[in-house]
Amino acid sequence: MDIVYFLVQQMMIFSIPLLIVALGGLFSERSGVVNIALEGIMIIGGFASILFVNYMQSRHIMDGQLLFLCAVLVAAIAGGLFALLHAYAAINMNADQTISGTALNMFAPAFAVYAARMIQENHVQQITFNNTFRIAEVPILSKIPVIGDMFFKQAFITTYLGIAILIAAVIVLYKTRFGLRLRACGEHPQAADSVGINVYRMRYAGVVISGMLAGIGGLVFVVPTSTNFNASVAGYGFLGIAVLIFGQWKPGRILFAALFFGLMKTISSSYSGIPILLDLGINSYIYKMIPYIATLIVLAFTSRNSQAPRASGQPYDKGGR
């Protein structure tokens, strides 16, 4: 059983950032703006929040879970602000959304390296932090059999944050007036406009929310796996887009896709801790390929009907039909 618990804990480390970032992409695409800049926004979010953590820890102002929650806030603000650039190009300037997204993806890592080397006294691009955020045991909840061992021991607060964001996303998108309007703008903006919805404002909201979530995703990606931020999120932004498409632009399926991919990734990265898999004697590179091959195979069987928002990627033209 210990192996199962270990695998679930590992899976969360991979799945949760993907889930958060894909949900970010969901808000943007549902409002009608393709956000290929998720990778870059993650980097900016990770950069700003880890810099914040570094500052607070080195001066002993704050630490522990409170610092982490403040860092989440910083990541969200940084990501949201950075996403405004994409929103301005896509919504006000009718720009090709792939172009401005690509520009943001290129800008973010370069800026993170540039700024880190300029700001830090030792002029290195890595920003270090002390990982004091792991929760050894959640009181009471960890006593629940099975579930307690899986989710409430050796966990990061990010796991609960990810689940909270998922629930919030479902409620906002499907149970509120705002969510209905947002989705209308992604399906048929002219129709939405004709009933008095401000398409531009809704799309701004979608892109900024997506930036905030992607920014948080950047922080959530870095914290459990490392003790420094090196201007990279290892392609997780693009994987987030893949999870979004895999999840057919629906929160529930996105959760499934993120968990599936996370499980595959867990198997590939920790096979050496699982005696049965280790005994097979397969090269580690083959294991590394598994998540991607498995995703391709699953996609082949599940992609018959694409559920992409219809107006996603098209600049809104008031006079268009």
Residues engaged in binding another protein (CB under 8 A): 85, 89, 93-96, 98-100, 102-107, 109-111, 113-114, 117-118, 234-235, 238-239, 241-242, 245-246, 283, 285-286, 288-289, 291-293, 295-296, 299-300, 303-306, 308
Q: Give the shortest CB-245-to-another protein separation in angstroms.
A: 5
Q: Which residues of 256-282 are buried (b: 16+ CB within 10 A; e: fewer)?
A: bbbbbbbbbbbbbbbbeeeeeeeeeee
Q: Give the shortest CB-64-to-another protein separation in angstroms.
A: 33
CB nearer to another protein: pick between 72 and 112: 112
Exposed / middle / buried, residue 309 (Cβ in 10 Å: 0-12, 13-18, 19+): buried
CB 6 within 8 A of CB 75: no
Q: Give the shortest CB-180-to-another protein separation in angstroms.
A: 26
CB nearer to another protein: pick between 70 and 103: 103
Compute CA 160 distance to the chain's CA centroid, rounded to the nearest angstrom.
Answer: 14
> What would the two tokens of residue 194 be?
């004709």
Compute CA 306 distance to the chain's CA centroid, rounded to the nearest angstrom.
Answer: 22
CB nearer to another protein: pick between 26 and 72: 26
CB nearer to another protein: pick between 5 and 292: 292
CB nearer to another protein: pick between 22 and 212: 22
SS3 call for 137:
strand
Which stretches does DSSP call E strand in 78-192?
Answer: 127-128, 134-137, 153-156
